[in-house]
Amino acid sequence: MNNKNKDILIIGFALFAMFFGAGNLIFPPYLGHAIGSEYIIGMLGFIITGVGLPLLAILSCLKGDGTFETIASKIGPKFSIIFASILFIAIGPMLGIPRTAATTFEITIQPLFPSFSPILFMIIYFAFNLIFVLNKSSVIDTIGKYLTPTLIVILSFVIIKGIIVPLGEISTTGAASVLSNSLIEGYQTMDALAALLFAAVITNSLKEKGYNKDQMVPMALRASIIAALGLAFVYGGLTILGAQTTTLVSTDISKTSLLLFIAHGVLGNIGRTIIAIAMSLACLTTSIGLLTAGSSFFEKVSKGKLPYKVNAVVISLISIVIGALGVDNIIKISGPILNILYPVAITLIVTTLLNKYLTNIKAIRLGIYTSLIFGILAEIKVFDLSFIPLASLGFAWLIPTIVAILIGNIALKKS
């Protein structure tokens, strides 16, 4: 294997590890459980937004200098800073970090100690996080190097065995709008938003290895295919296993309980224990990574006025409160927020990838702000947007955004 192919393989695995958040594993099984026999369509929708969009986000960043700030700066310097800050808040203390803590609690503590206080666990969990974050210890990175491959092996075994020896019969659930709902469910991974911020890591890695810009895009594309295949296998396999539980558990089962049920069904009592421990450690590495990245970002953006350690403590305190709400409640909160952020992110990604054809910056700005406005309006139930095509499927922003860009290209002069 030559150095170039080796680097592609390493970057591909790095991308997989970055997107492979343990908290994301609770969504595909629940989707499969909800849609039953329509699982193939559901897999397609979930993989498009849960896998395809993050990889396109990285490629769009590579169109610039590899950072989100560069591709967002064409909309405006203030937009770049504000939107990046909102993304960090969303995938950090508002949603991403608390979800890792809540998932850990519901998978490891709650089944054994039902009366254990969620808020007390959150305090202990984030105190443990801060030990590593404030000291910037490399111990957690060492754990992560071995943890991700171990978790992949365990999940691969669970998926393959579950497909060969099904848990139950896949039945029809009568689910409606399966494709559109699956696309929106893929939002919950938050990976497309995270990819806009993580792209710089891949870019810096390629630069350090001595590759120029012309080499970066094809190498990142090939590495992305490796990551995509791995993620598609895991997400698709878990969706199938979830579909096998349609007649085995009630529809009101929680997402974490369903994953534990599947692990127990495939591997017995030891399976539940192994999954619980592996996922808890994976959640810990994810939360420490996000906490470290968020604290550093706000220190940089504030030019040192918000010190790293203060940021880490504040983010942890906010995460304690939100984490105590539980996984399902966090997901309910995240739905409207992600439905507003994703249209803007998607528009930015697509217009960047098509920058050879979309050269009118004013038209792109009009499209970005249109996607934001209609994303907000769709979440305010007072406004009836049912007259807009695709609105009933959760994409009220799409047609207005396309129309705005087309009109902008005609009516607005190029900068």
pLDDT of residue 88: 86
Candidates 39, 151, 108; CA nearest to 327 is 108
In a 3-state reduction of DSSP, which class is residue 225?
A: helix
pLDDT of residue 283: 85
pLDDT of residue 183: 93
Question: What are the average pLDDT values for consecutive 10-residue runs of the chain, which has 415 residues?
Answer: 77 77 82 95 94 89 77 87 88 87 91 91 94 73 67 86 92 90 91 82 76 79 85 93 93 89 89 82 83 86 91 94 93 90 94 90 94 94 89 92 94 76
pLDDT of residue 37: 93
Token pair belonging to 270: 């030891």
Which domains occur in the chain, in start order? Answer: 4-332 (1.20.1740.10), 356-414 (no CATH)
* Burial of 191 per CB tally in 10 Å (0-12, 13-18, 19+): buried
pLDDT of residue 219: 84
- Tokens 């009836």 belong to 384
Give the span between the Cα atoms of 168 and 165, in whole angstroms.
Answer: 9
